[in-house]
Every structure is written in C-alpha cells, then in structure tokens.
Structure 1
Amino acid sequence: MLEKLKIHLNQNFPFLENSKLLLAVSGGIDSMVLVHLLHQLNYSIDLCHCNFQLRGIESFDDQHFIQEYADANEIPLFLTQFDTEAFANDYKLSTQIAARELRYNWFYELLVNENYDYILTAHHADDNIETFLINLSRGTGLEGLVGIPAQNNKIIRPLLPFTRVEIEQYAKENTIQWREDSSNASDKYLRNKIRHHLVPLLKELNPQFMDSFQKTQSYLKESQELVDDASIMVYQQVAKEDEETIVFDLKQLLRLPNYKSYLYQWLHEFGFTAWEDIYGLVESQSGKQVFAPNYRLLKDREQLILSPILLEKEAQVYYIEKNVREVNIPLNLAFCKVDDISGASNSVIFVDEDQLVYPLVLKKWEEGDSFQPFGMNGKSKKLSKLFKDEKLSLLEKENCWVLWSGNQIVWVVGIRQDERFRTDNSTQNILKIALQ
C-alpha cells in the first residue's frame, strides 16, 4: 500500500511534496493510517481534530487520543470543539450536514489563518461507494454519481484509490493504534445502513465489485467532462451575463433537442431543486418564477432571467440638496446648469429648476405612484401602466428609481420625464440631469 500511494501521489499530486499540509484526523483507522503513510513517505504534515461532542465522553476520549499521539510524535495539532446538535437545531440541519458544515468552515479558516496550502482527508474507496449509493437513492444528476472528488479546491483526498480492506490490512501489519467510533455500528444513519447491509450484498454478488465500481466511476467522470464541455459551448450561445443577472434566450434554448438537460447543468449549482417547475417556466406566461434559497428564475417574454434574491431592507430614500453636482449612490447622477437644451433622451433630461422643491428625493417606485408623462399635455398615468407599456421585466421594475420634487415626480429615472417640469421659452434656469 505504501508503494501504491507513493506512485499515486507522484502521478496525481506531485505539488504536495513541497506544500504546507494539514491533515484532518478523527482518531479512526482511516486517518491514523494516512498519518503513518505520509510520515513513511517523509511528507511534513500538521494535524487538526474536531470534537463534535456527539458521543459524550467517547468524543473527549478521541480528542485525548489525538492529543497524546501528537505530543508523542512532536506533531503540531489544532483542536476545536463544536456544539453540533445546537448548530443543527438553530439552522434546521441534519446532524451529519451540520457536522460537515462546521468542520469544513473550520478547515478553511485554518488554511487562511495559518497559511496552509492544502487540507488532506482520509476518505477512501468504500466511502466513495457509499456516497454514490446515497446520491442514487435520493435522485441525482450525473455529477452525483461521479463520487467524492479526489481534489476539491484546497481539499485533497489521497486514499480514494484504496479500499477499507487494504487500510485495515496495513494497520494490522504496522501495529497502528486507532479509536473505534461506536456510532459506526449503529444503523441510525443512512450511510451506515448502506455500509452494513447493501455494500456487503453487492460484494457477495460480484467479488470484483470494487474494481468494477471504480472502472464505472472512471467512465462516468469522462462522460461528465464531455457534458461540461458541451454545456459551456451551448451556454455561450444561449446566455448573456451582466453584473447580477444571467439571461437565457428561450428561442435559442428551444432549438436544442435536450434543452432540459442544459438547464439542469446551468442551474443546479445555484441551489435549484424544483426541476419540473423550472422546465414548465419555458412554456408558462411572463411573470412566473421559481425560487432557490438565494436565487430566482423568472420567465419574461422570450427570456429566462436568473438573479440573486435581495434581502428585504428598509425603504431606501436619498435626499439631494440644491447645487449638488453629482450623486453616486444609489445611481450615478450628474447635475449642471446649462443655457440651452440639446441631447435630451431617456438618460438625460432638462428641467426648469425654478419649479423644483429642494431637497429632491430619490427612491424606489411604489404601487399607486403616478405622474404626467412628458409630451402628454398634462394627462396622468400610473407608473405600473407605464412599465407595462414599456414592457419592463419584473427585475427592471423592481430596480426602477424615481426622482421627486415635493409630492410630484420629476423623472422616472432612465425612462420618462414628467411634463410639469419641462422647460419652455420663459425658463430662466435650466438644469440638466444625466444618468451616467
């Protein structure tokens, strides 16, 4: 196993040899074997251990075991303790998910604060099978079947090619001590049920199951790479990005014979799970939306618009005093006095400053707001009707700002000026306001 690991690391992770490494150790057989192997190969590693306080005194015994091992071998060790159950209850997570979030958040804190290059964990081939079967049982796309990645950003898993049998054999041959987690014997968790009952049956049905499984995963990974390449090429034809949104052209999308697969590839990383609802958006009426925890997908005529969900805040109101030349928040507006009118547009207006009441007020539009559109001879119009006529999307309406003078609208910014503040031949003071 030692020679096999040496070849594996040299071929796939040659950069580890000169990197500052931190190894996550639980005290179990997998992590203690990895510590031993890396020392035999002369890698310089420090250790870190999480006490999740889920097994009473046993959790603290694991911590003491790691502390004594580190002291005896003069290895730097980082320790932390978590109230995992309280965290799980506060955030409505399963205990396993809570423990995962806690430990990986801590890992990345150590990477940054202590200047480590990589974190190593002791996941192995049997863990990969269990993860595959868990994902398969819950329903997943191709990415859920390719297993645990050997490298995920700064997390590296050197033991993935090795089985639990190989690890146990190496531990016995080298008289390695470890701690046995009593919870591993329980069928309380889905992973343990799969480990104790399903995997042994698969190995009984096919004695070469491990080899067959690893070959299958290799094929799946190659297929995933092909899918990713195709997804990127099609994305460039269908999607357009700006700072906060991604717009998908439905006409282009519907030309694809398997557009649902592309939507899944593009959207699953944003946390969407209601796939039938998403596929239904394509044929639904404008204004329909599907939500993920932090994003929404909106149908707007011949487009699907992906945007982050903005947290509700108190109404934003900005005051603009007389003689202010420029405003940078929330929009970039420039104010200057001019002698004549030229270049008026949706983004540049000219108003009679003598008609303004200061301070001007800049705020988001509200339902019921109305104004007198420029050029309509004093007829009133609700902003909601203006937006409909202008065919604004829901996102464009939500991001619309209005400039007020007293209780009258001066400008629906970037869209239409109010008639009441227009200039004429008698205007003495012309103020130019430009959206930059």
Structure 2
Amino acid sequence: MLSIFQNHIQTNFNYLKEKKLLLAISGGIDSMVLLHLFHKLNYDIAVAHCNFSLRDTESDADEDFVRTTCEILKIPFYIQRFDTKQFASDYKLSIQLAARKLRYDWFSELLLEQKLDYVLTAHHLDDEIETFLIHLTRGTGLEGLTGIPAKNGNVIRPLLKFSRDEIESFAKENNIKWREDSSNASNKYLRNKLRHDVVPILKELNPSFMNSFQNTLDNLKQSQSLVDDASRIVYRKVVQDEENQKKINISELKQLENYEAYLFQWLKPLGFSAWEDIYNMVDAQSGKQVFSEEYSLLKDRNYLIVTTRNIDKQISYKIEKSDVEVNIPLKMSLCNIGYISNLNANCIFVDEDKISFPLTIRKWQGGDVFYPSGMQGKKKVSKYFKDEKFSLIDKQNQWLLCSNDEIVWIINHRADQRFLAKNNTKNILKIELKK
C-alpha cells in the first residue's frame, strides 16, 4: 500500500511535498495509518488531536496515546480539549455537528497560528459509502451522491481511494498500533448502523462492490461536473450580478425546460431550502419573499432578486406606557377601556397590572415558549408555528409582543393566557393591530 499511496499522492496531490501539513489524528486505525504513511514518506507534518470529552477516561487515554506516539516519532503535536456537550447545548446542535464545528474551527485557527498549509484527514472509501447511503436515505440531489470531496478548501482527504479492509491489512502488516473507539460498536447512530448492518450485505451480494461503488462515484462526479458547467453557462445569460444583489430574469428563466433545476443550483449554496415556495415565486405576485439564514429572495415584477439580509434577530422596538400609538415595526394602538368587547384576532385585552413597561416587539427566537390562550400549559413557539402550518416566510415575518421578554401576544394570532384580562379585571388595556 505504501508504494500505491506514494504514487497516488504524487499523481493527485503533488503540491503537498513542499507544504507544511497538519494531520488530524484521533488515535483510531485510519488516522494512525495516515500518520505512518506521511511520516514514512518524510513529509513536513504536525499532528492535531481533539479530545471531545465524550468518553471519560477513554477519551483521555486516546489523548495520551497520540501524545506518546508523536513524542516517539518526534513530530510536533497540538492537543485541544472541548466541552462538546455544553457547546452542543449552548448552540442547539447535535453532538456530531457540535464536534465537527469545534474540530474544524480549531484546525483553521492552527493553520493560521502555526503557519501551516493544509489539514489532512483520514476519511476513506468506506466513509464515502456510508455518507452516500446517509444522503440517499434522507433524500438528496446529485451533489449529495458524489461522496466526500478529496479537496475542500484547505482540507485534504488523501485516503479516499482506499478501503477500510486495505487500511486494516496495512496496519497489521506494519505493526501499527491504534486505539479502538468503543462508540463505533454502537448502532445508536445511523452511520454505525449502515456500517454494521447494511454495507456488509452489499459486499456479500457483490464481492466487487467496493470497485463498483468507486466507479459509480467517478461517474456521478463527472455528471455533477457537466451540471456545474451548464449551470455557469446559463447563469451568465439569465442572472445579472450587481453590486448588492443578483437579479434573475424570470422571462429568460421560464424559457428553460428545467428552470427549477437551475434555481436549485444557484440558490442552494446561499442556504435556501424552501424549494416549493421558491419555485412558486416565478408565477407569484410581486412582493413575495423567501429567506435563508443570510439572504432574501424577492419577487419584483420581472425579476427574482437575491440580496443579503441585514436583519438582526435580536432587534426590538419599545412601547412606553405613555404611548397610545406605535407605527414601527407595526401600526398598533393602545388604550385603557372599562370592559372587554369585540374579540377578534387583531386585538387583545390584557391586564395592565400583569405586564411591565416598556413592552417590546421582536422576532421569535429559538427556545421561545408561551402559554397559548385556550390551552393548558406552555408550548414552544416553533411548535405552534408548525401546528399552525406557518410557512418559512410567515415565521421569518412574525412579530411577538413581550413583557420582560415573556411573550404576551403572537401578534395577530394567539395571546398568552397569563396576561389576558378577565371580566373582573380593574385595569384593562386594549392592544390593537391596525390594518
């Protein structure tokens, strides 16, 4: 394998010879083989090891193993400990996504601090198969079936052409030591279930499955390349790139037989995902909008216009006790009345003694909860939106009226029962949304 690997690097990554490389080493068999190969070939390498603190003493033992190995081989190494569970909780991420973000953010920092050129990871052919199957089971486009990229910016994955069996055979033949990760034996995660239960059956059905899969990936990548080429050519004809926006000419777009596929290619990299809403915009009235995390897409007469969003979710507007009318961000009136009347969706009657001024109007945030009128107990605002079939646009545009950051009213939809006035309430405040 060493000579095959050397030829593979010289053919596909010949630029690495003169570079300073950071190897991501977990201590597992794949990464230890990666370390052994580049050390044998006398590349300029350093090691980065992440201790995610997820397996108690086992994680610490992995750290000690990698440290000792690097000391023996006289290779510079960097070790970082993370409180992964706390990070995942703080940012509402899965453990896997949290670990990935922590890992790659730290790698990027190391490259800058230590003046290194590339990060090398030990992803291999079996990882590609598992990733392919994960995307396939969840639903994906062509791009999601093209596997893991061998190069993505400054991240290089030089073992992708080698199978787990080849890597294991090489490790045993060369007496390379490694650490077993006990979590790999569990079927708790989809990737492990595919690895243990599905891939072995595919290999049993076709003894040449690994080669066949590699050929399939190559074909899919070539097809994706054709799609990318076509997308760029059509983009130049249909889209006007201006300083602060992109304007998609709807008339030109609709002449394309598969214009939805082009919209997908152009807008997916910008984080858009509400595809049904986007495709419907082509024939919608002007003013319809769809949002991604960083961009907005607006239907404006003959164009779909992409602009950067400058919306701060934390922005809020105050309503003072002396205010009888507000105009930003919504037109609303406030007045004291003697009794409750004319109940409708665009106004609420609250007990003024239960609220605290200044009131605020803001957008909803992850973790928001309220106590819906007419129901028992509390409910997440996100769950309310889902149950009420709010579209992505509806959710992005929805305003909340709050007292001390507790929700008083999902404006024009549902009040919080904790603040509602009753027939015997002494100080009734009517808050009305004006059309």
Quote the Cα distance in structure 1 between the aligned partners of 2:329 and 2:94. Answer: 41
- Give the equivalent residue in structure 2 for 1:189: 189
State the shift of 1:41 in Å. Answer: 1.4
- Give the equivalent residue in structure 2 for 1:434: none
Quote the Cα distance in structure 2 between the aligned partners of 1:102 and 1:314. Answer: 28
- Give the equivalent residue in structure 2 for 1:143: 143
State the shift of 1:102 in Å. Answer: 0.8
- Give the equivalent residue in structure 2 for 1:298: 298
Quote the Cα distance in structure 1 between the aligned partners of 2:261 and 2:165. Answer: 38
Task: State the AA in 1 paired with 2:74.
Answer: E
- Give the equivalent residue in structure 2 for 1:227: 227
Distance change in 2, residues 1:247/1:174 (3 Å): same
Quote the Cα distance in structure 2 between the aligned partners of 1:268 and 1:278. Answer: 11
State the shift of 1:119 in Å. Answer: 0.8
Q: Deviations over 1:189-211 (max 9, x none)?
A: 11101101111111111111110
SS at match of 1:55: coil
State the shift of 1:367 in Å. Answer: 8.0
Task: State the AA in 2 paired with 1:63.
Answer: E
SS at match of 1:134: helix
- Give the equivalent residue in structure 1 for 2:254: 254
Quote the Cα distance in structure 2 between the aligned partners of 1:308 and 1:92. Answer: 24
- Give the equivalent residue in structure 2 for 1:96: 96
Quote the Cα distance in structure 2 between the aligned partners of 1:314 and 1:152. Answer: 36
Quote the Cα distance in structure 1 between the aligned partners of 2:315 and 2:54. Answer: 41
Q: Deviations over 1:222-241 (max 9, x none)?
A: 11111101100100111112
SS at match of 1:304: strand
- Give the equivalent residue in structure 2 for 1:12: 12
- Give the equivalent residue in structure 1 for 2:213: 213
Quote the Cα distance in structure 2 between the aligned partners of 1:367 and 1:49. Answer: 52
Matches of residues 282-297 of structure 1 in structure 2 within 5 Å?
Answer: 282-297=282-297
- Give the equivalent residue in structure 1 for 2:81: 81
Task: State the AA in 2 paired with 1:18.
Answer: E
Q: Deviations over 1:302-327 (max 9, x none)?
A: 11111122133879xxxxxxxxxxxx
- Give the equivalent residue in structure 2 for 1:45: 45
Quote the Cα distance in structure 2 between the aligned partners of 1:195 and 1:244. Answer: 46
- Give structure 2 stretches of 5+ with no counterpart: 317-327, 332-435
State the shift of 1:181 in Å. Answer: 0.2
SS at match of 1:284: coil
Task: State the AA in 2 paired with 1:226.
Answer: L
Q: Comparing 6-15 with 273-282, which one deviates more in the overlay?
A: 273-282
State the shift of 1:243 in Å. Answer: 2.6
Task: State the AA in 2 paired with 1:309.
Answer: R
Task: State the AA in 1 paired with 2:7.
Answer: I
Q: Comparing 300-309 with 225-234, which one deviates more in the overlay?
A: 300-309
- Give the equivalent residue in structure 1 for 2:279: 279
Task: State the AA in 2 paired with 1:123.
Answer: H
- Give the equivalent residue in structure 2 for 1:176: 176
Q: Deviations over 1:13-59 (max 9, x none)?
A: 00111111110100000000111111221212110100111111111
SS at match of 2:260: helix
Matches of residues 343-358 of structure 1 in structure 2 within 5 Å?
Answer: none
Quote the Cα distance in structure 1 between the aligned partners of 2:161 and 2:37. Answer: 14
Q: Deviations over 1:159-187 (max 9, x none)?
A: 00000000000010011100000000001
- Give structure 1 stretches of 5+ with no counterpart: 316-364, 369-436
State the shift of 1:138 in Å. Answer: 1.1
Task: State the AA in 2 paired with 1:120.
Answer: L
Q: Deviations over 1:49-94 (max 9, x none)?
A: 0011111111111001111111111111001011111111111111
Percentage of pairs with the same residue: 57
Quote the Cα distance in structure 2 between the aligned partners of 1:91 and 1:271. Answer: 18
Q: Comparing 292-301 with 122-131, which one deviates more in the overlay?
A: 292-301
State the shift of 1:244 in Å. Answer: 2.4
Task: State the AA in 2 paired with 1:138.
Answer: R
C-alpha RMSD of matched pairs (Å): 1.8
Task: State the AA in 1 paired with 2:82.
Answer: F
Distance change in 2, residues 1:82/1:366 (3 Å): closer
Task: State the AA in 2 paired with 1:101.
Answer: K
Report how many residues are paired: 321
Task: State the AA in 2 paired with 1:88.
Answer: A
Q: Deviations over 1:139-173 (max 9, x none)?
A: 11111111000111110011000000000000100
Runs of 4+ in 1 over 3 A off after TM superposition: 312-315, 365-368
Task: State the AA in 1 paired with 2:41.
Answer: L
SS at match of 1:69: helix
- Give the equivalent residue in structure 1 for 2:423: none
Quote the Cα distance in structure 2 between the aligned partners of 1:265 and 1:288. Answer: 21
State the shift of 1:301 in Å. Answer: 1.2
State the shift of 1:366 in Å. Answer: 8.2
Quote the Cα distance in structure 2 between the aligned partners of 1:72 and 1:186. Answer: 32
Quote the Cα distance in structure 2 between the aligned partners of 1:147 and 1:267. Answer: 21
Task: State the AA in 2 paired with 1:99.
Answer: A
SS at match of 1:42: coil
Quote the Cα distance in structure 2 between the aligned partners of 1:31 and 1:292. Answer: 36
Quote the Cα distance in structure 1 between the aligned partners of 2:198 and 2:282. Answer: 40
Task: State the AA in 1 paired with 2:288.
Answer: K
- Give the equivalent residue in structure 1 for 2:245: 245
Task: State the AA in 2 paired with 1:165.
Answer: D
- Give the equivalent residue in structure 2 for 1:124: 124
Taking structure 2 as the reference length, the TM-score comes to 0.72
Quote the Cα distance in structure 1 between the aligned partners of 2:24 and 2:3. Answer: 22
Matches of residues 279-428 of structure 1 in structure 2 within 5 Å?
Answer: 279-312=279-312
Q: Deviations over 1:111-139 (max 9, x none)?
A: 11111111111000000000111111111
SS at match of 2:16: helix
